[in-house]
Amino acid sequence: MPKIKLAKVLFLISPTILALALVSAHWISKKERSSEAEREAPIHKTFAIEVDDGLTTLTVDEAAQAHSGIQTAALAAAQATDGPVLYGTVIDLQPLFDLATRYAAGAADLRAAQAELAQREAELKRVQALYDDKQNVSRKALDAAHADAEASKAKASAAQIAVTAVGTALRQQFGPRVAAWAMAPASLELTTLTNRTAVLVRVVLSSPKDVAPQRLTLSVDMSAPVEARLISTSPQTDPAMQGQAWLYRADAPLAVGARLAGRSGAQQRSGVRIPSEAVVWYGGQPWAYVRKSAKEFERRPIVQATPSSGSLVALKGFDAGEAVVVQGAQLLLSEESRALLSSD
């Protein structure tokens, strides 16, 4: 009997226990969702935007900055070359290698044809002497020797024409100096290009009156700069850039088609070094966020800047000691773009 009463009591209170369990689970789940939403909440809830004279100022409270991991660093003074901007492109050298191979094969054919011609001419001279000496050989043998010599001469002439054509193509596409590298039997310069320890860069000067410097410092985006040495004028220009083109050699394994930039001239000007972490791209132009106050950040364009050691040296628009955002700059740009879209 007591066992029956206990089972009955459990049966009566089980719905209450189940209800309490459901309520508890719902409360815990709701609390977890609330905490997760709080963690993932975008900073635009504590975000304001103002545009004045073409410059955008963002206001973000300090709690949101800490939550988003926004960090700044002071700009340091630096020196940069102030001269005309130069743009270059790493050119594809496969046509050069193909022509060099054709030239080597053609030169080998030419040497073989010339050797054969020398042999045929010597044989003709011997047969001619025998014929002149009381016709010790027949006229038919003399005619055959003449025919063999003429055939060898034509073969050597055709081989010479083929080699000359390849040499002309080399000079037309790469200039006389690079063509000489390709036509040399054991050119160290061509070997470095083949092994990709060096590349050729076509550099375009903005004005045809500009004198090409013997040495240039060029950078790909904001990577470490490389030194390039002048080779010659370029017979071909870059269709994307107007101006006089020159060929430079850079001792670095740069990718084909990579765009490089630098400046010519020796005049040095004072500027500030903007680290790559601070740079964001908007509208095809680099920008950086400068801290104006504890809560305000101003987005400024980076103009008249020179790539240097993985950063940009700006000659104007920034002052040494100003703090720029080095962590969270892309987040600020995303929130700014979101705010502009929501206001439209």
pLDDT digits 0-9 by tens, 243-271: 788 999 999 999 998 888 777 765 667 88
Question: What are 3's two structure tokens?
Answer: 């066992």
CA 267 and chain centroid, separation: 27
The pLDDT assigned to 38 comes to: 44
Q: Are residues 273 and 224 in the same domain?
A: no
Compute the distance between CA of residue 26 and CA of residue 231 in angstroms, rounded to an integer: 76
Task: Report the number of distinct structural domains present in the chain.
Answer: 3
Domain endpoint, select from 263, 282, 301: 263
- Per the model's pLDDT, the better-predicted residue between 78 and 29 turns out to be 78
- Looking at the fold, whether 187 and 204 belong to one and the same domain comes out as no
Residue finishing a domain among 192, 209, 241: 192
- 61 contact partners, CB below 8 Å, separation of at least 6: 46, 295
Amino acid at 161: I
DSSP 43: G
Pair (259, 275) in one structural domain: no
Which residue type does 230 have?
Answer: L
Rounded mean pLDDT, 142-148: 94
- For residue 7, pLDDT beyond 60: no
Confidence band, pLDDT 50/70/90 cuts, at residue 43: very low
Q: For residues 69 and 125, give the distance between their C-alpha atoms in angstroms, rounded to a whole number.
A: 93
What is the predicted pLDDT for the residue at 112?
97
Same-domain pairing of 112 and 184: yes
Domain-embedded: residue 21: no
Domain boundary among 242, 263, 284: 263
Q: For residue range 293-313, what is the model confidence (pLDDT) as tens digits?
A: 999 999 999 877 777 766 788
CA 196, CA 189: separation in Å to the nearest integer? 11
pTM exceeds 0.75 for this model: no
| Residue 37 domain-assigned (yes or no) | no
Q: Are residues 188 and 98 in the same domain?
A: yes
pLDDT tens for 98-119 read 999 999 999 999 999 999 999 9
Determine the structural domain holding residue 337 and report its residue range: 43-82+267-343
Which range, of 19-28, 149-158, 205-214, 328-337, averages the lowest pLDDT?
19-28
24 domain-assigned: no
Same domain flag for 215 and 252: yes
Q: What is the pLDDT confidence band of residue 202, given thresholds at 50, 70 and 90?
A: very high
| CATH code of the domain covering residue 52 | 2.40.420.20
Q: Which of 306, 324, 141, 125 is nearest to 216 (CA)?
A: 306
**Residue 328 in domain:** yes
Q: pLDDT band at residue 90, thresholds of 50, 70 and 90?
A: very high
Question: What whole-number distance in Å separates Cα of residue 199 and Cα of residue 47?
Answer: 48
Same domain, 274 and 307: yes
Same domain, 104 and 182: yes
